[in-house]
Chains A and B, each alone.
Chain A
Amino acid sequence: MNALEYAELFLSESRENVTAVNHALLQLERDAEGPGAAACVDAIFRAVHTIKGMAATMGYAVVTELSHELETVLDRARRRELTIDSTIIDILLRGADSLERLVELAVAGRESELNIVSLVADLRSLRPMMVETSEWAIPRLAAANPTGLTVRVRLVPDAPLRSVRAMLIVQAFRKIVDVASTLPPEADLQADRFDGVLTIHSVADAPRDEIERVVRAAGDVESVEFLDGTEPLPPPTALPEPLDVPAAPSSGVRVAPGRGRHVRIDVRRLDKLMNLVGELVVARGRLTQLAGEVGDHALEESVRLSSRLITELRDEITASRMVPVSNVFDRFPRVVRDAARALGKTVEFTVEGRDIELDRSMLDDIADSIVHLLRNAVDHGIETPEQREATGKPPAGSLVLSAMRDRTAIVIRVTDDGRGIDRERVLARAKRDGIVDAAKTELSEDEVLRLLARPGFSTAEQVTEVSGRGVGVDAVYTRVRALGGAMNVRSVPGEGTTMTIRLPLTLAVVRSLLARVADEMYAIPLAHVSETIELTPDIVRTVKGKEVVMARDEIFPLIRMRRLVGLPHYAPASAIDLEQVIVIDLGDRRAGLVIDELTGQEEIVVKQFDAVRDGPPFFGGATLLGDGRPCLIVDVSSLL
């Protein structure tokens, strides 16, 4: 591995450990005296300790220093010399925050930009008074030893843990001859009271060269001297405090294959692989088609085989990109706690479906949006404990973040039991801004979402630190749509709000239904298709001037693709040549999209596409079909 790869490994592993620290701290905060508290302290200690080890190896001095200070405090807590209270948790949370920023800065070589002086001072204030080291008794041993052997061993000055090394030397010595006494005594060595010079006395004698050999073999020995038994021992010198000095980072470590069953892969490399396999899928489509035209049996057979291999390859790469949402969700308890604290609210936060897997890039892309929704819920949704009690609710608000799999989509929900969205106020505000007709008296849920999603639209009376002024919903809405997902809101005044985000499982390759309208091809992602039906005249009705379809006791609006793209009405070649309806479905909203003809299913590779400014908003991307024709991808959520 090269230095950069080590740095990336350091970063990803440190992030995980900081998340673990936050997670355990929050658990500790909820229940500092419970049976799980000791395990929390242990977990925090381990995580900080791991960061320290890695940072020291990388030569990140500030990260090392901070994690060392944290570790010292945690170690005391572990040994129950320190009782965890809210003050200590606050300091530790600050420590976790700084650590989080520091690891990022360290990797960028900008570690020194973060000032940790006051934090370190606070951490040190939690330390005990230093143990006085000047009072221990020094046994006088040499004068009483007219016979036997006295050896003075000097250790290399910069050797690590010299006191432990001295113990190993005594141990090695003992294998040859009994040890009568040592200076400093072994108890002092164990307690790390050692200045680097060890004197060992034995009543029996032993060959000097043998002694010197085993003593030197114990390591870190600078010199071995044999003293005349009558020679007075040197007075003990003033001993320094046990002190750890981080050594310079090791260098010159190079590549060697790892042995574990897991390897870490840069997500960019996976992106590249995914793109390549996407191209391969497209090329396959073209190849299959050409082979069909040639009609050679052996060729078709071989194309079929490579086609199957490509499918397997695609599935494996897709699977390798999937990570459990807990990777990101585990950061959120901290976010909610901080927001709730800042706003004086009490929030019970629950995460459901932590194990649900989502494409790594998508998860990273959606993380900020979820933070927005959570903060909004704490800020605007959940009331203060007093307000809640006044309306007969429990003082602590409930906030649930859940992830679940729904066919080929992932559904993420943020549900609070707060005051709900005040539609009157949204309506009033919209009227004032001239966005809706002044005569309008009621807003549907979709209209509410669409209004909230307008940049800068806010009904919040004050700007708060936590969620700012109406920031969030518009950004979230835009992000979700950019990912090919959909979003909706359901809110009951006084009872709470649920924001639902639906995302496709993966970004790059989308199974789609291909539809022809006149001479153009359109792709409709299968994730949003529930069925297709023939548009026979008997199922069409007109309600309030709008066309609807009645199918299986359901009624939903019709959207004619020809009208959307500005084409004339469909003229069938014969009476049996019916238009088709693709029933598109976003969980709770449905519509029928009318197209000329269904031409099949294909796996399409989404190409980012720059929509024409002020052009139709209902296309989310473009692709090339197997035969090389361009095709626009319908953004289903914009139609509903």
Chain B
Amino acid sequence: MSHTVLICDDAIFMRTMVGDILTQAGFEVVGEAETGVQAVEKYQQLRPDLVTMDIVMPDMGGIDAVREICKLDPNAKILMCSAMGQQALVVEAIQAGAKDFVVKPFQPSRVLEAVQRVLA
């Protein structure tokens, strides 16, 4: 059975791209969230195997969403999607419980490597 994924990003562009990469690699995208609040809600509903999480989102950012999700499920597997220049935020996200990170611009191979690490 393929792994299920919840994609959290406020840009459709990014959601589409991450979705494309993961779908091609055989993942099943079961949900998308545009805000941190949605991400937490959908996590609770869908309990996906993997979450990709943008750091900067409206209505609760990605880091707070990681904290909330980890409260719900300490074993949540969350991959942070960061842009350049967000070193400090990625550190915070990792401390909050995210398992790994990828840096935009996304290279499909890097995304998939990171996903494998998170799911390992």
Are A and B genuine complex partners? yes
- CB of A161 within 8 A of CB of B117, answer no
The number of residues on chain B lying at the interface, defined by a beta carbon within 8 Å of a beta carbon of chain A, is 44
Q: Return chain A residues, CB-CB under 8 Å to B87.
A: 161, 163-164, 192, 242
Inside 8 A of A219's CB, which chain B residues have their CB?
Answer: 100, 113-114, 117
Contact B16–A1 (Cβ < 8 Å): yes
Q: Do B12 and A57 touch (CB < 8 A)? A: no
A264 near B12: Cβ-Cβ < 8 Å: yes
Answer whether residue A246 sits at the interface, using C-beta atoms and an 8 A cutoff.
yes
B13→A68 contact, CB < 8 A? no
Q: Are B24 and A190 in contact (CB under 8 A)?
A: no
Q: Answer whether residue A54 sits at the interface, using C-beta atoms and an 8 A cutoff.
A: yes
Instruction: Determine whether B1 belongs to the interface, using a CB cutoff of 8 Å to chain A.
Output: no
Q: How far is the CB of A549 from chain B (nearest CB, A)?
A: 55
Q: Are B12 and A249 in contact (CB under 8 A)?
A: no
In contact, A255 and B104 (Cβ under 8 angstroms) = no
- Verify if B90 is at the interface (C-beta below 8 Å from A): yes
CA distance A192 to B14 in the complex (A): 26
* A1-18 contacts to B (CB < 8 Å): 1, 6, 9-10, 13
- For residue A413, CB closer than 8 A to chain B, the reply is no
Which residue of B has the minimal Cβ distance to A192? B87
Whether a CB of chain B sits under 8 angstroms from the CB of A239 is: no
How many inter-chain contacts with C-beta < 8 Å in the A-B complex? 127
Contacts of B103 in A (CB 8 A): 160-161
Q: How far is the CA of A191 from the CA of B91 in the complex (A)?
A: 9
Given contacts A161-B82, A217-B117, A253-B21, contact A54 B107 (CB under 8 A): no
Residue from A6, A54, A68, A72 having most chain B Cβ neighbours under 10 A? A54
A49 partner residues in chain B, CB cutoff 8 A: 56, 83
Asked whether A253 and B56 contact (CB < 8 A) given A53-B83, A56-B104, A218-B117, the answer is no
Our pick among A9, A52, A246, A248 for the contact of B12 (Cβ within 8 Å) is: A9
Q: Is the CB of B13 within 8 A of A6?
A: yes
Bound Cα distance A160, B111 (Å): 12
Question: Is A257 in contact with B23, judged by CB distance below 8 angstroms?
Answer: yes
Residues in A51-109 with C-beta less than 8 Å from chain B: 52-54, 56-59, 68, 71-72
Partner of B19, one of A43, A53, A258: A258
Instruction: Check B57 for interface membership: any CB of A closer than 8 A.
Output: yes
Is B56 touching A164 in the complex (CB atoms < 8 A)? no
Closest B residue to A258 by CB, please name it.
Answer: B16
Contacts of A244 in B (CB 8 A): 84-85
Whether B94 lies near A168 (C-beta < 8 A) is yes
Please tell me if B20 contacts chain A, counting CB pairs below 8 Å. Answer: yes
CA A43 – CA B56 in complex, angstroms?
10
Within 8 A of A (CB), among B57-99: 57-58, 82-85, 87-88, 90-91, 94
By beta carbon, the residue of chain A nearest B86 is A161
Contact A192/B88 with A49-B56, A259-B29 known, Cβ cut-off 8 Å: yes
A34 within 8 A of B: no
For B15, B103, B104, which residue has the most chain A Cβ atoms within 10 angstroms? B104
Q: Is A167 a contact partner of B91 (Cβ separation < 8 A)?
A: yes
Q: Which of B32, B105, B110 is close to A249, meaning CB atoms less than 8 Å apart?
A: B105
How far, in Å, is B115 (CB) from chain A's closest CB?
11
Decide: A53 and B14 in contact? CB cutoff 8 A.
Answer: yes
Query: For chain B residues 23-65, which have a beta carbon within 8 Å of chain A?
Result: 23-24, 29-32, 56-58
- CB < 8 Å: which of A1, A56, A254, A258 contacts B105? A56
Interface digits, B1-21 against A, CB 8 Å rule (1 contact, 0 not)? 000000100111111110111
Q: How far is the CA of A466 from the CA of B24 in the complex (A)?
A: 52
Please give, as numbers and ranges, the residues of chain A lying within 8 Å of B58 by CB-CB distance.
43, 46
Are B16 and A254 in touch, CB under 8 angstroms?
A: no
* Contact between B24 and A254, CB atoms less than 8 A apart: yes
- With a cutoff of 8 Å between Cβ atoms, the chain B residues found around residue A161 in the complex are 82, 87, 90, 101, 103
Task: Report if A260 contacts B (CB, 8 A).
Answer: yes
Are A1 and B32 neighbours in the complex by a CB distance under 8 Å?
no
- Quote the shortest CB–CB distance from B46 to chain A (angstroms): 11
| Cβ contact within 8 Å between A252 and B91 | no
A298 at the interface (CB under 8 A from B): no
Separation in Å of the B88 CB from the closest CB of chain A? 7
A173 within 8 A of B: no
Are A256 and B19 in contact, with the CB atoms below 8 A?
yes
B32 touches A164 (CB 8 A): no
Contact status B91-A259, CB under 8 Å: no
- Contacting pair B56 A45 (CB below 8 A): yes
Q: How far is A371 from B30 in the complex, measured between Cα atoms in Å?
A: 43
Docked-complex contact B20 and A256, CB < 8 angstroms: yes
User: Which residues from chain A sit less than 8 Å from chain B, CB to CB?
Assistant: 1, 6, 9-10, 13, 43, 45-46, 49-50, 52-54, 56-59, 68, 71-72, 160-161, 163-164, 167-168, 171, 189-192, 217-219, 242, 244-250, 252-260, 262, 264
Q: What are 6 sample pairs from A and B whose C-beta atoms fall under 8 A apart?
A: A56-B84, A163-B91, A190-B88, A218-B117, A246-B84, A250-B108
Those 3 A-B pairs whose CB atoms lie nearest each other, nearest first: A244-B84, A160-B103, A256-B23
